[in-house]
Amino acid sequence: MTGGGARRSRWLFPSVLAIGLAGCTRSTSDGPISQSREAELGGGILARVGDSPVFASTVASVMSAQGVTSEEALERVVRDALFSAHARAQPPLRDRARGVEQAMLARVLLEQFRREAEARPVTDDDIRAAMAERFLEFDRPPMVKVIHAVVRFTAPGDEPRARTVADAIRRAVVDVKDEAAFRSAASAVPNDGFEVAIEALAPLAADGRVAPGRGMVEPFARAAHAIASIGGTSPVTRTKYGLHVIRLIERQPALFVPVAEARPRLEASVRTARLREAYDGLVRGLAAREPSTIDPASGELMGLIDLEL
């Protein structure tokens, strides 16, 4: 902005001082703005472009984001307001600007929402909850690694025959030394028409946990943890999945990371999860308050949009 616009910008600068705009410490020879003029503009308003006010907070944001002086920031905001006023007077530009304005308002809302969520402290209870979710890294109970053979059946009347197969598998594997020999011996037992699966499993806790959100049924986990020594074999164990013969491969000791040590590793993820949960709640609440209706023909209409516009 040049000429009268630049003089106008310099004339308005004392009002920045008058309302206490952060970061403005320079003085001007033009003297302070009169109280009557400040009252005319309104508290926090530095200028008007047509009917559009220029707020001190907007100028402060430009100063902070672009690293410019208050005069330069005010000049840029006034210039943008002039362009905006011109665009609003042009129907094609106004229609395009409406979508941009919606996006910008949504962005402002989300930024405010994020700042408010991040201002909440992360408590020790928050850290403990995150540790429980990632228990393998921070609060792991004793775990065992096993391989097992399971004889699957569906009809209750088939259980005696299935147990005969499972008993035969246990006799075949009880003295073998390693996983490969376990697989070979179990596979060699006639299955009498039943499906027999042989699986090596990830380490599991006594309550069945394998990983966050994954686990084995507790009767299986208890039987695995009850095996006295590595290389030992469980009795035939019944679960809803069938009849199991379990071989203990490895024991893993418990692991616990104190809350104070876990905090630096978890605080950022706790804030992210909290923000996501709050964001989802905000979206659900807004959607309930402002129901949206999508035109059934919108898909066809969107296909006609010219991306080169």
Q: What is the pLDDT of residue 183?
A: 96
Contact 43, 74 (CB under 8 A): no
CA distances from residue 52 to 46, 154, 255, 260, 284 in whole angstroms, order as listed: 11, 75, 62, 52, 33
Q: Which amino acid is at 92?
A: P
Q: Which amino acid is at 298?
A: S
Contact 20, 70 (CB under 8 A): no
What is 143-253's CATH number?
3.10.50.40
Q: What is the pTM of this model?
A: 0.56
Question: Residues 55, 7, 73, CA angle at the centre, nearest 5°?
Answer: 40
Q: What is the pLDDT of residue 308?
A: 52
Nearest Cα residue to 133 out of 270, 276, 275: 270
Q: What is the pLDDT of residue 303?
A: 61
Question: Which residues of the chain fall below pLDDT 70?
Answer: 1-43, 97, 292, 294-295, 297-309
d(CA 2, CA 9): 10
- As annotated, the residues of the chain forming the CATH 3.10.50.40 domain(s) are 143-253
Q: What is the pLDDT of residue 31?
A: 35
Q: If you compute the radius of gyration of the chain from its CA atoms, what whole number of angstroms results? A: 35
Q: What is the pLDDT of residue 122?
A: 93
